[in-house]
Amino acid sequence: MLLAAWLLTPAIVLAEPNDSPETVQAQVSQAMGAFLDAQGGGNGQLTLRAGRLDPRLRLGVCDQALEINEGRPLNLNRSHQTVKVSCHGNSPWRIYVPVELSRRQQAVVAARPLATGDVLSLEDLDVATVDANRARRQYYTDPAELVGMMATQPLQSGQLVTAHNLGINAVVERGDIVSIQVGHGGFVVGSTGEVQGRAGVGQRVKVKNTGSGKVIETVVIDSRSVEAIGH
């Protein structure tokens, strides 16, 4: 559903004062709603907001379909932008409309208050619907990928978890030598490898097998061992 109210000063007004702003506003609102729906707004994840049209404007209802933004799509990742609305009918006009776009997205939030230095578990995380366009930092959609990360600043319950307030609780560093475990039918076959990155418990890290030279993907078990993925 489009929520529209228009507060603006026209860049150019060329219409005759034939119709009330309320009628023109309804036409503009419908055109903006259709424009947003065409870009995926019909699924309810996008909401367009603006002010009310200035009653001093003397615009006529357009006798043709309004052109929105010259056919260019909105930037769905920007909260605030300006949209050009044009009438190309017998009494042409155009106005520039400042709009606020909300994009609803499921994202990871803190399930409880967290202190600086807390290492995250699944119990510490939840998923909630947020306005993704207001997130100024990288956010996450899967709590599992944050397990083992460390809070670098306090987080309140329900607060969006972003790259800005997380760090790696590293137990292995690049160059460390670790035991590579590979499970087969209940047995564990081990070899050694050199860690190619920095990671915490439960996180993925590439390891170079010191025997074969092959680089494989692993999950960190502790500071001395990793488990090969897909073997």
Contacts of 16 (CB under 8 A, 6+ apart): 58, 60, 91
| Same-domain pairing of 95 and 29 | yes
d(CA 182, CA 174): 21
The answer on 64 and 46 residing in a single domain is yes
Domain span at residue 108 reads 104-168
Tens of pLDDT, residue by residue over 181-229, are 987 555 566 789 999 998 888 888 999 999 899 999 999 998 999 999 8
The DSSP bridge partners found for residue 93 are: 87
Domain boundary among 103, 124, 144: 103
CATH number at residue 113: 3.90.1210.10
Chain centroid offset of residue 127 CA: 13
**Listed residues 51, 68, 103: the one ending a domain:** 103
User: Whole-angstrom Cα distance, residue 127 to residue 213?
Assistant: 40
Boundary of a domain, candidates 123, 142, 168: 168
Contacts with 15 (C-beta within 8 Å, 6 or more apart), sequence order: 58, 59, 60, 87, 91, 92, 93
Taking the CA atoms of 2, 7, 12 and 16 in sequence, report the sign of the dihedral they define: positive
DSSP characters over 172-208? B-TT-EEEEEEEETTEEEEEEEEE-S-B-TT-EEEEE
pLDDT at 6: 39
Q: Indicate whether 8 belongs to any domain.
A: no
pLDDT over threshold 50, residue 163: yes
Contact 172, 195 (CB under 8 A): yes
pLDDT at residue 1 in the model? 31
Say which CATH number the domain at 196 has: 2.30.30.760
pLDDT mean across residues, the chain:
81
What pLDDT shows up at residue 158? 93
Do 135 and 90 reside in the same domain of the chain?
no
Helix ranges, the chain (H): 21-38
Mean pLDDT lowest for which of 2-16, 82-96, 170-184? 2-16
pTM above 0.75, yes or no: no
Mean pLDDT of 116-129: 93
Q: Does residue 156 register a pLDDT over 90?
A: yes
pLDDT of residue 5: 36
Closest-CA residue to 98 (of 60, 48, 132, 153): 48
Do 96 and 155 lie in one domain? The reply is no
What pLDDT shows up at residue 47? 77
Does one domain contain both 191 and 202?
Answer: yes
pLDDT tens per residue, range 23-72:
888 888 888 878 877 776 555 577 777 656 777 778 888 999 999 888 88
Question: Terminus-to-terminus CA distance in the chain, angstroms?
Answer: 49
In a domain, 193, yes or no: yes
